[in-house]
Amino acid sequence: MSSTPQYSFSSALLHRRYWQLVSSVTLIVWIGISLGSLPLKDNDGEYSSYPYGLLTNFENRTLDLLFQLRDARHPHLRTRGLSEPITIIEIDEASIKASNVRLQRWPRDWYAKLVDRANEGGAAVIGVDAFFSEAGGASTEDKVGDQKLVESISAGDVVVAMKSASGGFDEINPMPMFADNAYAVGLVDVPPDSDGFVRSIPLFHLRPGQEPQFSLATHVAEGYLAATTPKSTQPPVLRMVGDRRVSLADRELPLRNDEFLQLDFRGRSPAFQRVSAADILFNKNAHIPDDAFRNRIVLIGAGNIDAPDLFPTPFYEPMIVTRMLDRSLPISPKRTPGVEVQATAVATILFGNTPVRPRYAWQIIAMLLPLCMVALALFSLRPLWGLLSVVFIAVLALAIASWAFNARSSILPLASVWLGIAIMTPSGLGIRYARERLLRSESEAEREQVMDIFSRFVSRNVANEVWERRGQASFAGETRTVTIVFTDIRNFTTLSEFEPSERVVEWLNDYFGRMNRIVESFGGHINKYIGDGLMIVFGAPVDRGDAYEARAAVNCGLTMLEEVEFMNIDWQGSGWPIIKIGCGIHTGVATCGVVGAERRLEYTVIGDAVNLSSRLESTTKEFDVPILISQSTALLMNDDYLVTALGKAQVKGKTVKTDVYTVERKKSVEMSRPDASV
């Protein structure tokens, strides 16, 4: 009988088209992540909320990680901002305490003094990050203060602040008296990303039908270049030079999809040279270096703890990975003042390596390679090695992204790669587990089918032994102690001489079936059918101990004799013959294993022990007893058996006579008849 395995659609995918399924899953994950990183426009047609798709927040967080890793691995870069020609005059907490006046009520002549000090120190350009959209007050003193500020602004190249209309708030512009005397008026908008962090800044704001408004950082950068380059050259002006690219003098700056400038942060605040406003206004003994302002960019703004513009940036709070690399990093979060964000923007425009993301097409191509590597690891390697490989690929992706960021100022889609890995790993392990379960189920089904057929030709024990050792080219013979039982039907030739062969086979099958059930019930197996005779083995391939196997063999032989009596009763009136059997049992050393030709093998037992047990069976006729056992078997019997010595017998093939015994069970341990229906 043969059968063909039936496969469902899912099992066919897992079994026959496994690698096609693997490729499809990898492709689906890649397409899903690619769509998730596709830039999305807001209702106004801008890319403000999702400049890098639905994964913008994830990508921004990994960008923060890249900034922090650069800082932790290259601590010398922390002084980069300090060495650049930028000084911040900070209205810090000490300044507020020294003045005993809230920032919102600071008189204009104090700002004038700060501007005057920067001008006196030789500042190339000054940017004031404060709104002068209304008069300082109605009193004569306030009006005098406003006039002093106008004079201070007109005395140098000073950029004053404005704010565009956004978020439901109107545009904030400086009063004409300040704007008309300033070098320029610039936007100080610092729009945060959707997670509240500041990572970029707009360089300009386009208004329908009007001239673009430029940022304070842009005008400050233009003023610095104008002050430090030869007068004969054309004044530097920020210009659009292509799709999301601007230029200033000989520098080109790439912009994000939302046309914001990605800031190149110098480090955790404070990242630039600072002078406290208190040292200029209230502390006459304070020492301010002569070169604190000379030929430098000076930015004036608030940095006190209740300033209206304190922002979380990539260095807001050290991540676990960076703290592992640098244990000296502080734990507490630190917000960055808006004036320092403006300083960072100026430094990025003039001196920084502006971080830029590759075009969308290159990003999704870059994502495909690690996903393919993860798929190959998960579906090809052992589960443990596959998981270790996935971790290695994730770390490798971080290392490559960090290198590209540090060396090329390129922001690779690290978050998208990690998300793809996070989706691929459980999906891949699930598919692999399902396939292995399917293969295991098929293997078990095939094993059961083979074992069921195979055990019809050999015993279940032999079938199990062959299956367990199926990977071996051959089963080398093993020398072990076994107990061999030979049985034979008396006068079988005479009984079957005049019977049709079909009838003989019928009652032989009944006889063999009953004998086999008895043999299996005692843990032996029928090794051979020799005509009407049986060769039964105890102790191979499963060995339960010499004494145990010998007693099981004797019990088996005695039970077979008893069963023959029951058979004769059952066969009465059927026309089947009355039979008797002889049984010979011997315990000895034999070689057990598989023998035969390359294409035809047989598990058998070979040795003198086999020959002797066969001769004992034929000798039962001479002693007129149904069962004979050898001395080696008799010595292994216990008090449950009555062993009777019959003397010595000259068995065929032996030069020395053999001591023979007959055996029976004592009345107290008589065995019940095995269930013939089993």
Q: What is the pLDDT of residue 126?
A: 96
Distance CA 509, CA 503 (A): 10
Q: Is 368 exposed, middle or buried (0-12, 13-18, 19+ CB in 10 A)?
A: middle
Residue 438, number of CB atoms within 10 A of its CB:
19
Average pLDDT over residues 183-192: 93
Q: Which amino acid is at 638?
A: N
pLDDT value of position 2: 44
pLDDT given for residue 473 in this prediction: 42
Q: Does some domain include residue 267?
A: yes
What backbone phi and psi angles, to 5 degrees, belong to 443? -65, -40
Task: Count CB neighbours of 5 within 10 A.
Answer: 10
In single-letter form, the type of residue at position 371 comes to L
Asked whether the predicted pLDDT for residue 442 surpasses 70, the reply is no
In degrees and rounded to multiples of 5, residue 164 shows phi and psi of -75, 160
Q: How far apart are CA 245 and CA 256, in angstroms?
A: 9
Angle at 271 between CA 267 and CA 276, to 5 degrees: 155
Report for 1-10, 85-94, 160-169, 374-383: range of highest mean pLDDT? 85-94
Residue 394, pLDDT score: 94
> pLDDT tens for residues 120-163?
999 999 999 999 999 888 888 989 999 999 999 999 899 999 99
- In the chain, pLDDT over 70 holds for what percent of residues? 88
Q: Which residues contact 329 (CB under 8 A, 6 or more apart)?
A: 72, 318, 322, 323
For residue 406, tell me if it sits in a domain: no
- Tell me: do 466 and 336 sit in the same domain: no
User: What's the CA gap between 649 and 134, in Å, rounded?
Assistant: 134
Phi (first) and psi of residue 516, to 5 degrees:
-65, -40
Mean pLDDT, the chain, rounded, equals 86
Q: Please, which pLDDT band fits residue 593 given cuts at 50, 70 and 90?
A: confident
Banded pLDDT at 459 (limits 50, 70, 90): low
CA angle 85, 87, 89 (to 5 degrees): 165
- Between 676 and 141, residue with greater pLDDT: 141
CB count in 10 Å sphere of residue 601: 14
- Return d(Cα 456, Cα 568) in angstroms, integer: 26
**pLDDT (0 to 100) of residue 589:** 93
Of the residues 350, 371, 403, the one at which a domain ends: 350
Please state, in angstroms and rounded to a whole number, the distance separating the CA atoms of residues 260 and 46.
Answer: 11
The pLDDT tens digits of the residues spanning 63-118 come to: 999 999 999 988 888 889 999 999 999 999 999 999 999 988 899 999 999 999 99
| Same domain assignment for residues 472 and 346 | no
**Digit-coded pLDDT (tens) for 200-258:** 999 998 877 788 899 999 999 999 999 988 775 677 888 888 778 888 888 889 999 88
For residue 1, what pLDDT is reported?
Answer: 42
Structural domain count, the chain: 2
Tokens of 383: 């589960």
Strand partners, 484: 537, 586
pLDDT single digits (tens) 622-645: 899 999 999 999 999 998 899 999
CATH number for the domain that contains residue 661: 3.30.70.1230
384 found inside a domain: no
Q: Residue 619 corresponds to which amino acid?
A: T
For residue 256, the tally of other CB atoms under 10 A from its CB is 21
Which of the listed residues 301, 332, 350 is the one where a domain comes to its end?
350
Q: What is the pLDDT of residue 495?
A: 74
Q: What is the DSSP letter of 172?
A: B
Please give the Cα distance from 647 to 372 (Å, whole number). Answer: 81
pLDDT band at 4 (very low <50, low <70, confident <90, very high): very low
Task: Please indicate, yes or no, if residue 28 is contained in any of the structural domains.
Answer: no
Among 217, 446, 521, 224, smallest CA distance to 344 is for: 217
Say how far apart CA 256 and CA 244 lie, in whole Å.
7
Residue 670 has pLDDT above 60, yes or no: no
Any domain includes 425: no
Residue 362: the pLDDT is 92
CA triple 102-169-150, angle to 5 deg = 50
Q: Provide CB contacts within 8 A for 430, sequence distance 6+.
A: none
The per-residue pLDDT for range 228-238, each reduced to its tens digit, is 887 756 778 88
Residue-level pLDDT at 330: 85
- Which of 333, 350, 367 lies at the terminal end of a domain, its last residue? 350
CA distance 81 to 269: 10
Give the confidence band of 676 by pLDDT, cuts at 50, 70, 90. Answer: very low
Q: Which residue has the tokens 């055996």?
A: 663
Distances (CA, A) of 481 to 498, 539, 550, 606: 42, 7, 10, 12
Q: Is 396 exposed, middle or buried (0-12, 13-18, 19+ CB in 10 A)?
A: middle
> Is the pLDDT assigned to residue 449 strictly greater than 90?
no
Q: Is residue 186 a part of any domain in this protein?
A: yes
Domain presence at residue 20: no
Which pLDDT score, from 0 to 100, does residue 197 have? Answer: 95
Distance of CA 128 to the CA centre of its chain: 51
Are 124 and 236 within 8 A, CB to CB? no
Domain region containing 608? 461-669
Whether residue 249 is contained in a domain is answered as yes
- Tell me the pLDDT tens digit for each residue of 340-366: 999 999 999 999 788 999 999 999 999
